[in-house]
Amino acid sequence: MSLFDKIKSVFKKKKTGPPQTPEAPQPDPDDFGDRGSPGAGEGAVPTDAKLKSFRFSYDGTIGGDSYWYRFNAEEEPAVFAYESMLYPDYGEMKTEPGPELLEGLTAIYRELKLCEWNGFDMVNIYVCDGSGFSTSMYFEDGSSMRANGSNSFPPRYREFKQRIDELFKPYVEKMIEEKRLEAVKKGVNGQIDSFLCSFYSRSGGARYGFLMHTKPGARTNFEVTVEYSDGKYFPEGKFVYHRTVSDEQLRFERLDEIVRKYDMCEWMGFDRHSEEKDAEWFQLSISYEEGHIDAMGTAHPEHYEEVREEILSYMSELVKEIQAAESEQATEA
């Protein structure tokens, strides 16, 4: 290279323009995010041996239900157990199942070819929220089926879950009702420390929301939110009233009188829906020092209309009393 060529190469202008970004790798259209072991798959041979035990757990989405079933034919007598996060106070519930449970599980195992699931252990790395499961079956000949997944499921999983839920449903409903009746019999004791209630019209009527509690540390412990008020109990239209008040101003003894008057412990665990599409939805939770009353639905328990009217009257009177106290304090100041 001549001297002039060397000088030219040193002073050669560089190309201008935006920096070049490397091209991003293109996703594989056949990659759905599933990672792990798919299990035995086709060709797995089912066993004809008698089922000894079964277990299934379902982990729901954030804020959703999570529950498990357990069936053990080796115990004398056989045991079916169930626990759900929807019923935390009930804990593990047990009952003695009939022969149809063993027969039903055996049929599901064979008809859905669950032997092909053995060893299934998959997770979908692309799903941040979702659901997961874990299940196992053990047989008298020593064979087993174990599978679990997180947002990744083996073939026929949806039908499997639907069938076991339907199979166990009568036992689950019976155990829940037995626990509910135990809670009703025990009742509630002590003083009320919190109250939450909503009456929500779905046909254009008023919507009421109330929240009160005595728990310390909260800035606001008295909240009333009303929409589409007809003016009977609260000002017409929208009414919002949030305050911090003393425990005495909540007058929880009045609410307790309503509970006792209408035997509202019978409402414990009420959760039913009406076939009428415009039926008012309600939710109610009253917590005592010992025990609590929780109820909700678009179907309504006994004395619903009377309780509704008395609660609206009670809350309306509380607002007026608190407003009067505020006015008096302002005058004194």
- Say if residue 267 is in the same domain as residue 141: no
Asked if the structure places residue 17 within a domain, the reply is no
- Say if residue 74 is in the same domain as residue 203: no
Helix (H, G, I), strand (E, B) or coil at 103: helix
Report the DSSP beta bridge partners of residue 293.
286
Band (28; pLDDT cuts 50, 70, 90): low
- Say if residue 89 is in the same domain as residue 223: no
Asked if the structure places residue 77 within a domain, the reply is yes
Helix (H) or strand (E) holding 84: strand 79-84
- Say if residue 96 is in the same domain as residue 148: yes
Closest of 261, 268, 274, 270 to residue 307, by C-alpha: 261
Q: What is the average pLDDT score of the chain?
A: 89
Cα–Cα distances in angstroms (integers) from residue 194 to residues 220, 240, 266, in the given order = 13, 19, 19
- Say if residue 204 is in the same domain as residue 314: yes
Asked if the structure places residue 22 within a domain, the reply is no
**For residue 299, what are the domain limits?**
189-332
pTM of the model: 0.76
Written as six digits, the tokens of 35 are 């990672």
- Say if residue 307 is in the same domain as residue 193: yes
- Say if residue 60 is in the same domain as residue 151: yes
Instruction: Note the pLDDT of residue 21.
Output: 57
Band (285; pLDDT cuts 50, 70, 90): very high
Q: What are phi and psi of 316, to 5 degrees?
A: -60, -45
Q: What mean pLDDT do residues 84-104 have?
A: 94
> Is 237 within 8 Å of 230 (Cβ atoms)?
no
Instruction: Note the pLDDT of residue 8.
Output: 46
One-letter identity of residue 246: S
Asked if the structure places residue 10 within a domain, the reply is no
CATH code where residue 302 lies:
3.30.1560
- Say if residue 195 is in the same domain as residue 152: no
Asked if the structure places residue 21 within a domain, the reply is no
Closest of 296, 299, 303 to residue 268, by C-alpha: 296
By the 10 Å C-beta count (0-12 exposed, 13-18 middle, 19+ buried), 333 is classed as exposed
Asked if the structure places residue 277 within a domain, the reply is yes
Asked if the structure places residue 74 within a domain, the reply is yes
Alpha helices in 150-219 (DSSP H): 157-186
Which positions ≥6 away from 272 have C-beta within 8 Å?
297, 298, 299
Please check the confidence at residue 219 and state whether its pLDDT lies above 80.
no
**159-202 per-position pLDDT tens digit:** 999 999 999 999 999 999 999 999 999 999 999 999 999 999 98
- Say if residue 172 is in the same domain as residue 231: no
What is the dihedral angle through the alpha carbons of 252, 257, 260, 263, rounded to the nearest 10 degrees? -90
**132-169 per-position pLDDT tens digit:** 999 999 999 999 999 999 999 999 999 999 999 999 99
- For the chain, how many structural domains are there in total? 2
Q: Which of 136, 165, 186 is the last residue of a domain?
A: 186
- Say if residue 159 is in the same domain as residue 237: no
Q: Which of 137, 153, 186 is the last residue of a domain?
A: 186
- Say if residue 302 is in the same domain as residue 288: yes
Identify the DSSP state of 125: T
Please check the confidence at residue 328 and state whether its pLDDT lies above 90.
no
Which positions ≥6 away from 48 have C-beta within 8 Å?
none
Asked if the structure places residue 24 within a domain, the reply is no
Identify the DSSP state of 55: E
Instruction: Note the pLDDT of residue 13.
Output: 46
Cα–Cα distances in angstroms (integers) from residue 116 to residues 58, 70, 102, 144, 299, in the given order = 20, 21, 20, 11, 44
Written as six digits, the tokens of 276 are 């009428």
- Say if residue 171 is in the same domain as residue 282: no
Q: Which of 186, 209, 229 is the last residue of a domain?
A: 186
